[in-house]
């Protein structure tokens, strides 16, 4: 371990091998930090925070503090969990869960750029990229390999599907594989699908699903009924299962034409 002499590390914290902790960082008793993690200067780890190996936490990041919830009782035991290989850049804030035993969590290989805020009970999958100054309210879920543009704001309780590209303010759920801005869908995330090495057949299936949902003239309920009568593979079923489970906030509406090739 390499711990700067000005850092304050509680004796109860569990620190793995080859961990580096920078100047003036404060690590609380509930921290469990996996091997080969690097915490730069002025990092604060408070409450129950567990992180896997190889995470990078930038200058001034704060992880595990109390949620911004007026009903929160400080006696509640909740936590933050990070997988392995995540990058959390300067001045990010990640708040712990707001109810007893609940967790704010992310998987592996995520990249949170400067100033990102994850509110209480947020869930990130794997390989998510969130650009600078994004604000995720409580209970937001972002699925694997989503890309979130800088300055985006997500309303409490919404979900961003797998491999979406989204930018702006969102108050509704965004189905997987799509590209959207300012609470409107504009097409399919073609670049993301190609980078994820989706086959031409899978991309064609996503096009069919997209057209049925957004460009057939059917409402959401009718499109779901039609999808149930149509032969779709796993990718198409994933798309429509997301729509069927979107809940009371529903899905983002169609905003106009965009490339779908």
Domain regions of the chain by residue span: 2-157, 200-254
**Domain 200-254 in CATH: superfamily?**
Udp N-acetylglucosamine O-acyltransferase, C-terminal domain (1.20.1180.10)
Q: Which CATH number fits domain 2-157: 2.160.10.10, 3.10.20.30, 3.40.50.720, 1.10.390.10?
A: 2.160.10.10
CA torsion through residues 59, 60, 65, 68, sign: negative
Residues of the chain short of pLDDT 50, as ranges, are 258-261
- Per-residue buried b or exposed e for 22-41, using 16+ beta carbons within 10 Å of the residue's own CB: beebbbbebbbbbebbbbbb
pLDDT value of position 257: 57
pLDDT value of position 66: 97
Q: Residue 141: phi, psi to the nearest 5?
A: -120, 130
Chain segment 137-161, per-residue pLDDT in tens: 999 999 999 999 999 999 999 999 9
List all residues 6 or more positions away from 168 whose beta carbon is below 8 Å from its beta carbon. Answer: 149, 151, 152, 153, 180, 181, 182, 183
């Amino acid at each position: 371990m390499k711990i700067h002499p000005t850092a304050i590390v509680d004796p109860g914290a569990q620190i793995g091998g080859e961990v580096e902790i920078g100047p003036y960082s404060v690590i609380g008793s509930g921290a469990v930090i996996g091997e080969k993690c690097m915490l730069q200067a002025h990092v604060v780890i408070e409450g129950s925070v567990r992180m896997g190996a190889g995470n990078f936490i930038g200058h001034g990041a704060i992880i595990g503090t109390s949620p911004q919830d007026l009903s929160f009782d400080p006696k509640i035991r909740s936590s933050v969990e990070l997988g392995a290989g995540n990058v959390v850049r300067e001045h990010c804030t990640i708040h712990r869960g707001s109810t007893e035993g609940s967790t704010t969590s992310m998987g592996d290989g995520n990249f949170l750029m400067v100033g990102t805020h994850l509110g209480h009970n947020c869930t990130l999958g794997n390989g998510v990229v969130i650009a600078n100054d994004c604000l995720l309210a409580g209970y937001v879920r972002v699925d694997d390999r989503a890309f979130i543009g800088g300055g985006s704001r997500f309303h409490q309780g919404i979900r961003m599907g797998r491999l979406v590209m989204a930018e702006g303010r969102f108050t509704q759920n965004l189905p997987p594989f799509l590209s959207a801005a300012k609470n409107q869908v504009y097409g399919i995330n073609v670049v993301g699908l190609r980078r994820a090495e989706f086959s031409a057949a899978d991309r064609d299936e996503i096009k069919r699903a997209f057209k049925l949902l957004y460009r057939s003239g059917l409402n959401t309920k009718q499109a779901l009924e039609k999808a149930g009568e149509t032969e779709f593979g796993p990718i198409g079923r994933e798309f429509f299962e997301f729509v069927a489970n979107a809940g009371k906030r529903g899905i983002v509406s169609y905003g106009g034409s965009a490339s779908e090739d």
